[in-house]
A = this chain, B = another copy of it.
């Protein structure tokens, strides 16, 4: 008998039939004798519908009132879910974020959870009641309704699990776990039975958008065992764990992440003097453009080239900003390329294994793929390459690191 906090996202509760299917699933867990806290998102599409209504009222809708509006999405789901669970013969009680209460700061639209009062939930669980909590929302100290921002329901699930010291926080989604890479690109991609929080963070920020980064960070911080599973398909999913130093064998690489939405900008022939980097990147960040990788060439003749990557959507704007900077700095030229992609190998095992990067570069070289930029962290090596090589690169790396079902027996 365990206590599980189960989070069901917008797709999992996207229709009457899906809510009923979730209720049956919960009934199964309850029948096995487990205590269950369910947290849910708004039905898929609902949040966008509400945002559209708000924008008709005000060009920039009031953040406080936007939260009042958006919070109704999850409130509808908790009520419908509770009815479906009652229909399964279970005792149920629903709570909004404010009712629980999930205390947050007052940053409307991106509030952070400060405290959760779990007394009511504990009492309900002790009475055999399934508790249904609205995800994504809370209330500040003055009882103003707040929301945690998109994907905040994952954070609600993890925070509830932490506060309740649950045995597991289970995030039900439309994929059945975390894969070594995108199965649409590599046919032999495998579901990982386990992955560490740090690896998951690198995978998530690199475009494997299964879990919200904040939820993973939160789970890591409070050591909440987190499991990603499918709402639609039976299976153990992927357990996201605290790194276990006692484990004898760790896979060197857990997965290959990639991201197509990249663009590259180069300013050529800038004077190689202190402060030039901030002169170049300052105006970019002032324009609210996020920069990812940065590369400065070794200087020649007191002048250097400076390259960075941005999200592809920001490419045109960043280029315009950079051209103004180039004039001021009397730089030679601005070049841009929005047909690039980023591929990363991720794994805690690389800490203790030398030569991982070399193996990566060799694999790419053997396919004649040119590497344009390189960036490394403790558990990740990322390279930028021409977009047209993306699939080839991912497949060759997946195979080189023996991640596939048919590659070897190494796992």
Given A54-B80, A80-B53, also A86-B71 (CB < 8 A) = no
- For A87, list chain B residues within 8 Å (CB): 57-58
B83 pairs with A61, CB closer than 8 A: yes
- Stretch among A62-70, A271-279, A384-392 lining the B interface: A62-70
A83 pairs with B54, CB closer than 8 A: yes
A16 pairs with B83, CB closer than 8 A: no
Complex Cα–Cα for A83 and B67 (A) = 12
Q: Is A79 an interface residue (CB 8 A)?
A: yes
Q: Is A259 an interface residue (CB 8 A)?
A: no
Which one of A78, A80, A83 has the greatest number of beta carbons of chain B within 10 Å? A83
- For A78, list chain B residues within 8 Å (CB): 65, 68
Q: Is A56 an interface residue (CB 8 A)?
A: yes
A69 pairs with B80, CB closer than 8 A: yes
Complex Cα–Cα for A234 and B16 (A) = 44
B80 pairs with A94, CB closer than 8 A: no
Question: How far, in Å, is A74 (CB) from chain B's closest CB?
Answer: 9
Question: How far, in Å, is A408 (CB) from chain B's closest CB?
Answer: 50
- For A192, list chain B residues within 8 Å (CB): none
Q: Is A19 an interface residue (CB 8 A)?
A: yes
Q: Is A156 an interface residue (CB 8 A)?
A: no
Question: How far, in Å, is A21 (CB) from chain B's closest CB?
Answer: 12
Interface 1/0s, chain A 371-401, versus B by CB < 8 A?
Answer: 0000000000000000000000000000000
Q: Is A323 an interface residue (CB 8 A)?
A: no
Given A69-B76, A72-B76, A143-B99, also A56-B86 (CB < 8 A) = no
Complex Cα–Cα for A309 and B292 (A) = 78
Given A65-B94, A68-B94, also A58-B76 (CB < 8 A) = no
- For A143, list chain B residues within 8 Å (CB): 99
Interface 1/0s, chain A 36-60, versus B by CB < 8 A?
Answer: 0000000000000010011011100
Complex Cα–Cα for A20 and B58 (A) = 10
Complex Cα–Cα for A5 and B143 (A) = 23
Complex Cα–Cα for A71 and B145 (A) = 14
A56 pairs with B16, CB closer than 8 A: yes
Given A19-B57, A54-B80, also A86-B72 (CB < 8 A) = no
Question: How far, in Å, is A24 (CB) from chain B's closest CB?
Answer: 13
A62 pairs with B86, CB closer than 8 A: yes
Complex Cα–Cα for A53 and B19 (A) = 11
Given A62-B86, A99-B143, also A68-B57 (CB < 8 A) = no
- For A228, list chain B residues within 8 Å (CB): none
Q: Which residue on chain B has the smallest CB distance to residue A73?
A: B72
- For A69, list chain B residues within 8 Å (CB): 75-76, 79-80
B57 pairs with A16, CB closer than 8 A: yes
Complex Cα–Cα for A61 and B86 (A) = 9
| Of B64, B72, B92, B94, the contact of A75 (CB 8 Å cutoff) | B72
- For A53, list chain B residues within 8 Å (CB): 16, 76, 80
B62 pairs with A83, CB closer than 8 A: yes
Complex Cα–Cα for A208 and B75 (A) = 35
Complex Cα–Cα for A79 and B94 (A) = 22
Complex Cα–Cα for A78 and B61 (A) = 13
Interface residues of A in 58-114 (CB under 8 A from B): 58, 61-62, 64-66, 68-69, 71-72, 75-76, 78-80, 82-84, 86-87, 92-94, 96, 98-99
The 3 closest A-B pairs by CB, nearest first: A69-B79, A57-B83, A72-B72
Would you give 11 A-B contacts (Cβ < 8 Å), ordered by A? Answer: A16-B53, A53-B80, A54-B83, A57-B87, A62-B82, A72-B75, A72-B79, A75-B75, A98-B98, A99-B143, A99-B145
Known contacts A65-B86, A69-B76; 13 additional CB pairs below 8 A are A16-B56, A54-B83, A58-B87, A62-B92, A65-B78, A65-B83, A65-B94, A68-B78, A68-B79, A68-B82, A71-B75, A75-B75, A96-B145
